[in-house]
Amino acid sequence: MFSLIKNFFVALLSLITFAAPFGDAQLPERKCAPEFSGTFLQSWMSSTWDAERWEDEIECMQRDGVEYLVLQDIANMDADGNWTVYYNSTIPAFDGAVFGGDVVGAALEACKGTDIKVFVGLTMFDSFWLVGNFTGEYKSVCAITADMLEDVYDSCYSVSPENFYGWYFTLEINNQINCGPLMGSMVDGFNTVLNRATEVDASLPIMISPFTAHYLDLGDVATYSQWLTFFERTEFRDGDIVAPQDAVGADWVEEDDLVRIWEMYSAAAEKADADIRLWANCENFDIATGPSILGGTILRPETENIESVTATLDRFVMQMDVASRYCENIITFSYSHYYSPNLVKSMYIETYRDYVANGYVLESEAPTAPESATVVSDENGITLSWDEAEDNFGIAYYRVCKNGEFFTRVENYKWDYPLTVTDSEGTADDIYTVVAVDAAGNRSQVKQFVG
């Protein structure tokens, strides 16, 4: 408690002394290249992959510069207390658990003979997002996590010691009201896992990927003091990794605040006793958030996209550019989920490859305007349709406006959607327009619908 109070006043003094302690300075020189070298992969998705699919995915990762593969949670407890486990476990806590397949063994086998380094993720429980550390569940799960870490090491490390690189602590420490005010006790849970990792094999680093949220938190002073507590009290070892999520894709952080956020992490990380490594987890997706009365105040604002999609690269490149000024390495959530050509259209990874090949300059060729944009009025309202636009890499989505205001988006990231939109409340007097947006975020000229 004393540490929390002390750090609160340290953060407050920073505000009083400097007026705005973070975000005003000129960007420092880069510490790493503005490109990613690692990806997260969630076990539920890869649990159905056969050896051929694993080989294909690993080949794609190698081609696109992935050096680190982070298996996310390999044991998940649902809200009813039932576990699903993605390795061959032997600990009593997982007796009766659903076996989701041996993801750890499959990943290590697939990585044999490659330079890919695998972080093995640990546990997550569904109610964490609601209760955080308000109950004893967090401490209990951390104790299970420590036992599981030893169990995984004993059963999986020998599969491919050359590729088994370290651990990933999945429980997402953050500053929201269900976690931040209890940062000290959250750190205690994490230290339980850290200490077991040291006992099992001190040479394997552990990585954590916390995040900061502008919503459901207690403000900037409290947030900074919470991160000071986190770095001061965590028993990091030399070489452990902190890779904060930049939280832009999840809409917890606004793009304009990224510099301030990274300066805060950098300043707080200096308080750690150990020689830790500060990485960045840049999110390459756009989450979908629906309308809410409190959206944009204490809850995330509504998004134009109604399904979570791959972000256009103009935003992702900006995230990596900022992160590269403060961090020594960049990973992403997630190449595997939002860039792999086995899951989404190849235009995103092709645009990314072009960006890297051209010295971190993003292509700027705008797509053509959609052709044959027509509007039909009948008893169902207004039906809009148009032909595909053309682009050198591909169209990410079409943005439709009604009377100058945003109306809807037609996504094109994963499969081909019908280029048709119905407005049941539309009339013949309404004016509609459509714009094509490519994978780099370049926009076509506006095309107006005609009857």
Q: Is 155 exposed, middle or buried (0-12, 13-18, 19+ CB in 10 A)?
A: middle
pLDDT given for residue 16 in this prediction: 44
Distance (Å, whole) CA 174 – CA 194: 18
Average pLDDT over residues 438-446: 98
Please give the Cα distance from 261 to 213 (Å, whole number): 10
Round the average pLDDT of the chain to a whole number and report it.
Answer: 94
Average pLDDT rounded to a whole number, residues 45-53: 97
- Looking at 202-244, which runs of residues are DSSP E strands? 206-208, 241-242
Task: Give Cα separations from 120 to 41, 106, 145 (angstroms).
Answer: 10, 12, 12
Please tell me the distance from the alpha carbon of residue 91 to that of residue 274, in angstroms, as a whole number: 31
17 versus 157: the higher-pLDDT residue is 157
3-state secondary structure at position 117: strand
In the prediction, which pLDDT does 426 show? 94
pLDDT greater than 50 at residue 166: yes
For residues 395 and 6, which has the higher predicted lDDT (pLDDT)? 395
Rounded Cα gap, residues 274 and 173, in angstroms: 19
147 within 8 A of 91, measured Cβ to Cβ? yes
Mean pLDDT over 119-125 rounds to 97
pLDDT tens, residue by residue, 170-194: 999 999 999 999 999 999 999 999 9
Confidence of residue 3 (pLDDT cuts 50, 70, 90): low
Chain position carrying tokens 């930049």: 246
Rg of the chain in Å (alpha carbons):
23
The reported pLDDT for the residue numbered 371 is: 93
pLDDT tens column, 338-383: 999 999 999 999 999 999 999 999 999 999 999 999 999 988 899 9
Q: Which residue has the higher pLDDT, 70 or 14?
A: 70
SS3 for 154?
Answer: helix
Residue 28 reports pLDDT greater than 90: yes
140 or 2: whose pLDDT is higher? 140
CA distance 79 to 28: 44
What integer pLDDT is reported at residue 158 of this predicted model? 97
**SS3 assignment, position 56:** helix
Instruction: Quote the CA–CA distance of 142 and 146 in Å, as a whole number.
Output: 6
Arithmetic mean of pLDDT, 24-48: 93
**pLDDT band per the 50, 70, 90 thresholds, residue 25:** low
Residue 65 has pLDDT above 90, yes or no: yes
Residue 97: the pLDDT is 97
Rounded to the nearest 10°, the torsion over CA 166, 168, 174, 178 is -140
Query: How many angstroms separate the CA atoms of 144 and 146, rounded?
Result: 5
Neighbouring residues of 369: CB distance < 8 A, sequence distance ≥ 6: 389, 435, 436, 444, 445, 446, 447
3-class SS at 39? Answer: strand
**pLDDT 10s digits, 232-267:** 999 999 999 999 999 999 999 999 999 999 999 999
What pLDDT is recorded for position 13? Answer: 44
pLDDT higher than threshold 50 for residue 327: yes
What is the mean pLDDT of the segment spanning 90-109?
A: 97
Bond into 334 cis (ω within 30): yes
CB proximity list for 92: less than 8 A, separation 6 or greater: none
Domains of the chain: residue spans and CATH:
2-357 (3.20.20.80), 371-448 (2.60.40.10)
